[in-house]
């Protein structure tokens, strides 16, 4: 490793990166289209990949449904850190006369022919896959879930990428014998929408490494689960942090799943605002009022580096019940009095009946709640002001 590489890596580490590595356009050339850095920067020769770890204890409280908001806040802080690291690397490379860009850490997808905007997308191919860059740069390997797994932090990392015209000495991928995934399959067992098949596999090759990973259901399936349009597992005994329910089983066929996802996106108040995070992720994560609404990611949260911990995490997830919406915008584990109510957004919502019986107006705990929650709370307040809630809950 030369002086230039050491300087860039030290800079990233000094700003909060836990892991940093370098790869090249040529090394990534055998990967899928989203491994091509020239899509965003035609002059790209090198790719700097960096990872920031999530707070493990906060993640544990999240998956066990003890605390919701701290994990959301942790993700927002990390997104800010990723931008700051990337900006500093770009500035450094620019000062040396190289072209460089900081790739948005999330929410940026390649245009799809049939989609006018993100609400009509069904494939969600990223501009650049941070995971493929990280694999090639020796940050981690792809686990059965398809998530990027590191040796120290398991899958509990968020990734950032800078691509540059500078020619830098690349690192090598983690060898097979040190692969962090041991095929425990806990990721398959904690996905509420059964996105991650436990047996069927597929292969992906990047940087001369061929990974055998789960054959997943269409991406709109995860979109429905991860956005929170469906939080309940098929067993109906546990959910992710979403209080929303489709009120039907998830479609099997891709066409039907895609159509359902589009209809839900179209009805989702979040997608109506011009300032939503899909239009400008950077602006969203630096907006002090924006709440990083995370309700799932359980396939990642379960996947800590130690096998015993993963097995225990699976139980934390599946033994901690289901989630209801409170009228102050918070989410909590549902008790026996929780009921499901149809909303105007193509979804049912789980809410505790005590909440609806209470006529006292509730103040919001924080200003930047998810727009769907806000609209649903407003709807519930209007509909159920002083009525007998149980009589008015719809089937
Ligand atoms: S949960 Fe287990 S099988 Fe899934 S990616 Fe992590 S280590 Fe691999
Ligand atoms: S983020 Fe949630 S819905 Fe998506 S694959 Fe992971 S566990 Fe499943």
User: Does residue 245 fall inside a structural domain?
Assistant: yes
User: Does residue 393 fall inside a structural domain?
Assistant: no
Q: For the residues 226-245, what does the mean pLDDT come to?
A: 96
Rg (CA), the chain: 22
DSSP secondary structure string, 274-326?
TT-TTT-HHHHHH-TT--------HHHHT--SSHHHHHHHHHHHHTS--EEE-
- The CA distances from residue 147 to 129, 187, 188, 301, 304, in Å, are 11, 10, 12, 11, 12
- What's the whole-number average pLDDT of the chain? 92
Provide the pLDDT confidence category of residue 235 given band limits of 50, 70 and 90.
very high
pLDDT computed for residue 119 by the predictor = 86
pLDDT computed for residue 10 by the predictor = 98
Looking at the predicted structure, is the pLDDT value of residue 367 above 60?
no
For residues 254 and 382, state if they share a domain: no
Q: pLDDT tens digits, residue range 52-99?
A: 999 999 999 999 999 999 999 999 999 999 999 999 999 999 999 999
Pocket of ligand 1 contains residue 303 by CB under 6 Å: yes
Looking at the predicted structure, is the pLDDT value of residue 360 above 70?
no
For residues 242 and 183, state if they share a domain: yes
Q: Which atom of ligand 2 is nearest to the CA of 216?
A: 5
Provide the pLDDT confidence category of residue 365 given band limits of 50, 70 and 90.
low
For residues 10 and 34, state if they share a domain: yes
The helix/strand/coil state of 351 is strand
For residues 265 and 335, state if they share a domain: no
* Residue 338: domain span: 324-387
For residues 228 and 331, state if they share a domain: no
pLDDT computed for residue 109 by the predictor = 87
Global pTM reads: 0.93
For residues 311 and 373, state if they share a domain: no
For residues 233 and 99, state if they share a domain: yes
- Structure-token match 């700097």, residue found: 48
Q: How many domains does the chain have?
A: 2
| Ligand 1 centroid to residue 201 C-alpha, Å | 13
Q: pLDDT tens digits, residue range 250-264?
A: 999 999 999 999 999
**Residue of 135, 140, 186 with the most ligand 1 atoms within 8 Å of its CB, for mutation:** 186
pLDDT computed for residue 384 by the predictor = 74
Give the span between the Cα atoms of 381 and 20, in whole angstroms. Answer: 49
Percentage of residues in the chain having pLDDT higher than 90 = 77
Provide the pLDDT confidence category of residue 363 given band limits of 50, 70 and 90.
low
pLDDT computed for residue 95 by the predictor = 97
DSSP secondary structure string, 49-103?
EEEEEPPHHHHHHHHTTS-SHHHHHHHHHHHHHHHHHHHHHHHHHHHTT--EEEE
- Give the closest residue (by CA) to ligand 1 atom 7: 181
pLDDT computed for residue 91 by the predictor = 98
For residues 335 and 311, state if they share a domain: no
């Amino acid at each position: 490793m030369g002086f230039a590489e050491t300087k860039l890596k030290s800079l990233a580490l000094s700003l909060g990166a836990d892991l940093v590595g370098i790869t090249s356009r040529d090394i990534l050339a055998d990967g899928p289209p989203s491994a091509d850095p020239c899509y965003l920067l035609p002059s790209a020769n090198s790719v700097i990949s960096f990872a920031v770890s999530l707070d493990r204890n906060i993640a544990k409280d999240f998956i066990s449904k003890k605390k919701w908001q701290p994990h959301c806040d942790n993700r927002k802080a990390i997104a800010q850190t990723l931008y700051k690291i990337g900006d500093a690397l770009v500035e450094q490379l620019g000062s040396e006369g190289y072209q460089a860009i900081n790739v948005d850490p999330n929410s940026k997808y390649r245009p799809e022919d049939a989609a006018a905007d993100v609400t009509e997308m069904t494939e969600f191919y990223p501009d650049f896959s941070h995971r493929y860059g990280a694999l090639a740069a020796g940050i981690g390997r792809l686990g059965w879930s398809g998530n990027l797994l590191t040796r120290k932090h398991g899958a509990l990392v968020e990734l950032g990428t800078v691509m540059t015209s500078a020619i830098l000495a690349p690192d090598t991928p983690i060898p097979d014998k040190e692969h962090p995934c041991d095929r425990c399959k806990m990721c398959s067992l904690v996905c509420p929408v059964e996105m991650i098949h436990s047996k069927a596999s597929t292969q992906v090759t990047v940087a001369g490494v061929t990974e055998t990973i789960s054959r997943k259901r269409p991406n709109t399936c995860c979109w429905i689960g991860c956005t929170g349009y469906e939080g309940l597992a098929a067993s109906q005994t546990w959910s992710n942090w979403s209080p929303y329910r489709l009120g039907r089983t998830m479609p099997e066929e891709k066409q039907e799943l895609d159509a359902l996802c589009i209809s839900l996106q179209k009805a989702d108040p979040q997608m109506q605002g011009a300032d939503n995070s899909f239009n400008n992720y950077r602006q969203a994560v630096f907006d002090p009022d924006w709440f990083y609404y995370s309700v799932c990611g359980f396939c990642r949260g379960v996947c800590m580096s130690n096998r015993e911990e993963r097995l225990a995490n699976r139980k934390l997830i599946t033994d901690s019940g289901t989630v209801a919406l409170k009228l102050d915008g918070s989410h909590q584990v549902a008790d026996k009095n929780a009921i499901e109510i149809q909303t105007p957004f193509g979804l049912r919502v789980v809410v505790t009946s005590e909440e609806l019986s209470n006529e006292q107006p509730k103040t919001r705990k924080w200003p930047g709640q998810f727009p769907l929650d806000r609209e649903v709370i407003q709807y519930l307040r209007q509909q159920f002001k002083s009525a007998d809630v149980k009589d008015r809950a719809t089937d």
